[in-house]
């Protein structure tokens, strides 16, 4: 789910941006499915997938007791002049000269002038454990802005362009050129390889860089671009107090590296909370070299560069790098599965408990405004369903309500929204909206708020499709105004559902305290555990309070769906399910 956004004490000493084993939808490699998708949507010109890497120097220091904690945000200017956000980097702590790991992909069109805008922000300390996608930019300190055409970068022989950061665009005339530092952008055409390498790295006999404890080592892997420029592509986590560390698996796609023979620089640093990490040692190897190290079951010595820059004066260390595992596999992308005919099937469950208020009164969360202005429930349905509907061929969506008493019946914690006793599906997103409005006049709001039954019914549908050999993946949207009262029962149902092709999106509406909901979301890396002690096989839940994203740069759909391709790919890859078009 959400990534940690910082690299430092506040960021939990974890890997940042493109770290080992993390598959992010925006980093999935371009392939034939991308070309098919673009052409089917009217893009017939010359286009390529471009990967942008960013670094900055001499940034303004906006912190009093430490250096700024910068994050970069990349936009593209649309035909209407408005900016569309392409992506955000991670936050680098205590640095005025950051090199960001997170890459941003953009489709380059020869026949279009594509204006890119880069903005750098100093992220306040209180937000260091917040996913970067959830950060409200108006709450961060602005450090500078630059812009250029994508063609200006790709036409450079080394793919590098350095820009002066200035004040916000509307005040450029009043800005002093260069006073905000510089931003360097590196552009490289992405390769089409789906070959992925997984490695287990460890070191022995590292030099101790700390006075009162052992070193806290981590590894940075960089590829060497044209002109000898190092481009960081991966960081490991920090191994605390350890001179013989072994790190979690590192996963590299060949497209990140270039080829198996491309040179890589592997640097081992001692972590310092002030951002000034000590170089313990480094080594220059390609993937082929690392594979040979693994096969020989021996280590390779690290070295410290000579101050003069002459390689023959490098200091060879007794510290060694070992590769305990080296394996290769084909990693199909999200678009590969879609191109192969896999469908995403949308389902929705709506909270009809009495805490929502009388639907006939304007202060109710279920109030239907005569002016046509949608309430929070309707907004969530329109935004999430409006996006997912295009991935479902028949557009027939299961829709349920819970926490209400249907006419002449007991309180139900999963009833068909369309009023039918026999089937739960409705036609299209408009069908959900119509059934929702109708249900408000045909049920009595009651309670309590229980999720267990709804999750179980959705899981049964996914289980049946799986048993029939259908390549489908289900997405259940639950919209609620309150904290659930069957937390453990819901956990049990989610743990069971984690083995199925199912993801659960939860939107909290209203002003309730949703802290308990966060237990269902795996953003902090903790897996849910059932009553019997069984642990969920993967994270399938994403929760967001609707109030946190209203009026911000990102929509509820962007926030909730950002992790869906990752959850989807985790399911497919761990079960070795190949796209149908790839099955011979």
SS3 letters for 82-128?
CEEEEEECCEECCCCCCECCCCEEEEEECCCCCEEEEEEEECCHHHC
The secondary structure element, H or E, covering residue 76 is strand 70-77
The residue with tokens 């469908």 is 343
CA 147 – CA 115 distance, rounded (Å):
7
Fold of 48-192: Immunoglobulin-like (2.60.40)
| Structure confidence at residue 560 (pLDDT) | 80
Side-chain-side CA neighbours of residue 498 (13 Å): 24
Instruction: State the greatest distance between any 2 C-alpha atoms of the chain, in Å, as a whole number.
Output: 88
* DSSP state string for 472-513: EEEEEEEEESS--S-HHHHHHHHHHHTTSSEEEEEEE-SS--
Q: Which tokens hold the place of 543? A: 């929760």
Q: What is the pLDDT of residue 554?
A: 53
Contact 285, 199 (CB under 8 A): no
Structure tokens at 421: 């006793």
Distance, CA of 134 to CA of 521 (rounded, Å): 15
Tell which residue, 538, 449, 560, 525, has the closest CA to residue 494: 538
Element spanning 39, H or E: helix 32-40
**Rounded to an integer, what distance in angstroms lies between the CA atom of residue 526 and that of residue 517?**
14
Q: What is the pLDDT of residue 41?
A: 44
Q: Which residues contact 408 (CB under 8 A, 6 or more apart)?
A: none
Neighbours of 555 (CB within 10 A): 15
Residue 523's contacts (CB-CB under 8 Å, 6 or more residues apart) are 1, 2, 131
Topology of the domain comprising 336-575: Rossmann fold (3.40.50)
Domain 195-330 belongs to what topology?
A: Immunoglobulin-like (2.60.40)
Predicted confidence at residue 44, as pLDDT, reads: 42
CA angle, 447 then 449 then 452, to 5°: 125
Residue 56's pLDDT is: 96
In order of 223, 240, 324, 577, the CA distances from 201 in angstroms are 17, 16, 6, 28
Where on the phi/psi map is residue 8: left (φ > 0), alpha (ψ -120 to 50), or beta? left
pLDDT reported for residue 191: 59
Same fold, 195-330 and 336-575: no
Q: Give the C-alpha separation, 434 to 427, whole Å.
A: 10
Residue 583 contacts by C-beta under 8 Å, 6 or more apart in sequence? Answer: none
Per-residue DSSP letter, 13: T
The helix/strand/coil state of 346 is strand
- Spell out the domain ranges in the chain: 48-192, 195-330, 336-575
Sheet bearing 70-77, strands edge to edge: 83-88, 70-77, 115-122, 141-149
CB contact at 8 A, 392 and 376: no
Q: Contact at 8 Å (CB) between 166 and 145? A: yes
Please name the residue ranges forming H helices in 242-347.
254-257, 287-296, 334-339
Query: What CA–CA distances, in Å, run from 34 to 111, 115, 190, 334, 563?
Result: 18, 22, 12, 10, 19
Judged by phi (left if over 0) then psi (alpha if -120 to 50, else beta), residue 17 lies in left
Q: How far apart are CA 508 and CA 164, in angstroms?
A: 42
Residue 315, judged by CB atoms within 10 A of its CB (0-12, 13-18, 19+), counts as exposed
Q: Which of 546, 205, 263, 579 is nearest to 383 (CA)?
A: 546
- H or E element at residue 399: strand 396-402
Task: Give the whole-angstrom CA distance, residue 201 versus residue 325.
Answer: 8
Cα gap 191→110, rounded to integer Å = 18
Q: Tell me phi and psi for residue 564, to 5 degrees.
A: -60, -45
Q: For the whole model, what pTM was predicted?
A: 0.60
- pLDDT at residue 36, rounded to an integer: 46
H helices within 90-222, ranges in order? 150-154
Per-residue pLDDT for the chain (584 aa), expressed as one digit of tens each? 333 333 333 333 433 333 333 333 333 333 444 444 444 444 444 456 788 999 999 998 876 677 899 999 999 998 788 898 999 999 999 999 999 999 998 888 766 788 999 999 999 988 888 889 889 999 999 999 999 999 888 877 788 999 999 987 544 444 444 478 999 999 887 756 678 899 999 999 999 998 888 999 999 999 887 677 888 988 999 999 999 999 999 988 887 787 888 899 999 999 998 888 999 999 999 999 999 999 999 999 999 988 776 667 889 999 999 999 999 988 787 877 887 888 899 999 999 999 999 999 999 999 999 999 999 999 999 989 988 888 888 999 999 999 999 887 899 999 999 999 899 999 999 999 999 999 999 999 998 999 999 999 999 999 999 999 999 999 999 999 977 889 899 999 999 999 999 999 999 998 877 777 777 775 555 778 899 999 999 989 998 888 766 555 456 777 788 788 889 989 998 898 988 866 54
Residues in the chain: 584
């Amino acid at each position: 789910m959400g990534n940690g956004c910082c690299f430092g004490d506040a960021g939990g000493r974890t890997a940042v941006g493109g770290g080992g084993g993390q598959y992010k939808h925006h980093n999935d490699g371009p392939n034939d499915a991308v070309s098919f998708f673009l052409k089917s949507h009217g893009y017939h010109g010359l286009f390529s997938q471009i990967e942008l890497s960013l670094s900055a120097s001499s940034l303004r220091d906006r912190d009093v007791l430490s250096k700024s904690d910068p994050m970069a945000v990349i936009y593209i200017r649309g035909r209407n002049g408005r900016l569309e956000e392409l992506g955000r980097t991670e936050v680098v702590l205590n640095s005025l000269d950051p090199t960001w790991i997170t890459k941003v992909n953009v489709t380059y069109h020869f026949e279009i002038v594509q204006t890119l805008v880069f903005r750098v922000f100093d992220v306040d300390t209180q937000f260091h454990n917040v996913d970067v996608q959830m950060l409200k930019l108006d709450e961060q300190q602005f450090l500078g802005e630059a812009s250029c055409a994508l063609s200006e970068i790709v036409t450079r022989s080394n793919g590098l362009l350095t820009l002066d950061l200035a004040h916000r665009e509307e005040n450029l005339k009043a800005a002093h050129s260069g006073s905000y530092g510089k931003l360097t952008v590196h552009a490289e055409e992405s390769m089409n390889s789906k070959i992925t390498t997984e490695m287990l790295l460890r070191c022995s006999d590292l030099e101790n860089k700390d006075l009162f404890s052992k070193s806290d080592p981590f590894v940075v892997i960089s590829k060497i671009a044209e002109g000898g420029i190092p481009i960081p592509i991966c960081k490991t986590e920090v191994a605390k107090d350890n001179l013989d560390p072994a790190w979690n698996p590192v996963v590299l796609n060949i497209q990140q590296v270039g080829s198996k023979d491309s040179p890589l620089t592997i640097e081992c640093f001692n972590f310092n909370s002030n951002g000034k990490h000590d170089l313990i040692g480094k080594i220059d190897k390609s993937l082929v070299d690392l594979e040979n190290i693994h096969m020989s079951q021996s280590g390779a010595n690290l070295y410290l560069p000579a101050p003069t820059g002459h390689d023959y004066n490098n200091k060879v260390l007794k510290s060694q790098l070992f590769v305990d595992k080296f394996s290769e596999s084909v990693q199909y992308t999200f678009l590969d599965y879609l191109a192969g005919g896999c469908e995403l099937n949308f389902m929705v469950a709506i909270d009809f408990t009495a805490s929502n208020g009388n639907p006939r009164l304007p202060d109710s969360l279920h109030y239907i405004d005569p002016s046509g202005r949608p309430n929070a429930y309707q907004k969530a349905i329109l935004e999430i369903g409006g996006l997912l509907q295009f991935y479902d061929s028949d557009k027939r969506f299961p829709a349920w309500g819970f926490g209400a008493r249907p006419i002449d019946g007991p309180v139900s914690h999963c009833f068909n929204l369309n009023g039918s006793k026999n089937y739960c599906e409705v036609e299209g997103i408009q069908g959900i909206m119509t059934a929702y409005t109708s249900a408000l006049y045909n049920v009595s709001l009651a309670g309590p708020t229980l999720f267990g039954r709804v999750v179980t019914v959705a899981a049964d549908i996914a289980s049946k499709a799986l048993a029939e050999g259908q390549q489908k993946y289900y997405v259940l949207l639950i919209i609620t105004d309150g904290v659930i009262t069957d937390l453990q029962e819901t956990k049990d149902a989610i743990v069971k559902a984690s083995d199925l092709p199912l993801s659960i999106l939860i939107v909290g509406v209203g002003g309730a305290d949703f802290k308990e909901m966060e237990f269902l979301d795996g953003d902090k890396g903790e897996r849910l555990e059932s009553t019997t002690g069984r642990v969920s096989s993967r994270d399938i839940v994403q929760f967001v309070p609707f109030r946190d994203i209203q009026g911000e740069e990102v929509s509820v759909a962007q926030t909730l769906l950002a992790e869906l391709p990752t959850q989807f790919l985790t399911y497919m890859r761990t079960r070795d399910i190949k796209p149908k078009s790839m099955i011979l």
